Amino acid sequence: MPLPNDALLEMYRRMTRIRQFENTCHELYQRGQIEGVLHLSIGQEAVSVGACYGLTADDYITSTHRGHNDIIAKGADLTRMMDELFMKETGYCRAKGGSMHIADFTLGILGANGIVGAGIPIATGAALAIKLRGERRVAVCFFGDGAVNQGFFHEGLNLASVWRLPVVFVCHNNAWAESTAQAATHAVADVAERAKAYGMPGVSVDAIDVTAVHEACAAAIARAREGDGPSLINCKTYRWYGHHVGDADQPYRSKEELAATRARDCIVHHRERLMRSGVADARLLETIDRDVAGEITAAVEHAKAAPPPSADSMYEDIFVGIDVREGGAS
């Protein structure tokens, strides 16, 4: 079933939003305007957008340290994200989370996560909640290829399968985990193969194509909503930049490899398809690009002007109903 034109355009808009957001973060970091750890998701936009397109705020996602993409794809507010990166009181996490912990519980975004693999059992648990309540929601769990070797992956996928939970495991397979190439750490070449050990469908997709990602994920999501259990979708993509912004030279991989994969840009690919098929002309796409640029600029402006957190806020948001300032060590 081909996607309607407005869906294709919306996917373009969302991928562009991620790309521009991340490029802006990169610049801001290089100019010293934002600090902390920052893992750019550039190159991986099609995975997030393909998987999240069609989800509603009732559906859950979990994401990773490299999570801006998934979070934006699920509809997060760019201003509150940028405020957070600027460490402002108005940020999603009131300046206490930063890039690795952005969440929006009103949108079902159960958070980026700094612990590799930790989102897997969390998404599984969210799916369990759905099942216990008899709802038709779904949980989409994003993780990197490096996380596949964590115990969390094994325990989470087995549990989700045994309990037939409505969760879709989406691997951002960008070929690298920090400085380590996948072949050095994966016993089998195809991440989708791992699904067999858990009795669930496993599919690999070339994530240059956002519609291919969407098709695979949408089928798995539909299956999950029907109560037929979890799936694993291995999205083959690539990390365009260093592991984090501090890892600029990337001595562990070649300029050629980088250039070759950057040539396979999911946004360019989608753009060309839109133009080729007549869904959009260059002008329309430029309008979208400009609109998005406007959103990002507005977000940056807002963030710059936003108030910093108060010193007191360090003691807030720890417990419900318990003030930790009272009682000293208690």
Partner 1 sequence: MTVEMTVREALNRALDEELARDPSVFLLGEDIADPFGGSWKVTKGLSDKHGIARVRNTPISESAIVGAAVGAALAGMRPVAEIMYIDFLALCADGIVNQAAKFRYMSGGQVSVPVVFRTQGGSGRSTAAQHGQSFESWFTHVPGLIVVMPSTPSDAYGLLKSAIRDDNPVLFIESKMCYAQKGPVPRAETAVPLGLADIKRRGRDVTIVAIGAMVAEALAAATELADDGIEAEVIDPRTLVPLDKVRILESVSRTSRAVIVHEATKRSGWGAEMAALIAEEAFHDLDGPVVRVAGANTPIPASPMLEALHRPNAARIAAAVRRLLA
Ligand X SMILES: Cc1ncc(C[n+]2csc(CCOP(=O)(O)OP(=O)(O)O)c2C)c(N)n1
Query: Counting contacts by CB under 8 A, is residue 128 touching partner 1?
Result: yes
Query: Counting contacts by CB under 8 A, is residue 166 touching partner 1?
Result: no
Q: Which of 17, 239, 270, 271 binds ligand X (CB under 6 A)?
A: 239
109-142 residues labelled b (16+ CB within 10 A) or e (exposed): bbbbbbebbbbbbbbbbbbbebbeeeeebbbbbb
Query: Counting contacts by CB under 8 A, is residue 204 touching a copy of itself?
Result: no
Decide if 190 contacts 161 (C-beta within 8 A): no
Nearest CA to 117 among 65, 49, 168?
65
List the alpha helices (DSSP H) in 111-170.
119-133, 151-162
Q: How far is the CB of 238 from Mg ion (least distance, A)?
A: 9
Q: How far is CA 289 from CA 2, 137, 296, 303, in A?
A: 24, 32, 11, 21
Residues 121, 163: Cα–Cα separation, whole Å: 13
Q: How far is residue 63 CA from its own chain's centroid? A: 5
Site for Mg ion in 163-192 (CB under 5 A): 174, 177
Q: Which of 110, 140, 195, 207 binds partner 1 (CB under 8 A)?
A: 110
Query: Counting contacts by CB under 8 A, is residue 75 touching partner 1?
Result: no
* Closer residue to a copy of itself in complex, CB, 42/220: 220
Query: Counting contacts by CB under 8 A, is residue 290 touching a copy of itself?
Result: no
Binding partner of 174, given a copy of itself, partner 1, Mg ion, none, CB within 5-8 angstroms per partner class: Mg ion
Query: Counting contacts by CB under 8 A, is residue 187 touching a copy of itself?
Result: yes
Residues 281, 269: Cα–Cα separation, whole Å: 14
Q: How far is the CB of 282 from partner 1 (least distance, A)?
A: 40
Q: How far is the CB of 41 from ligand X (least distance, A)?
A: 8
Query: Counting contacts by CB under 6 A, is residue 146 touching ligand X?
Result: yes
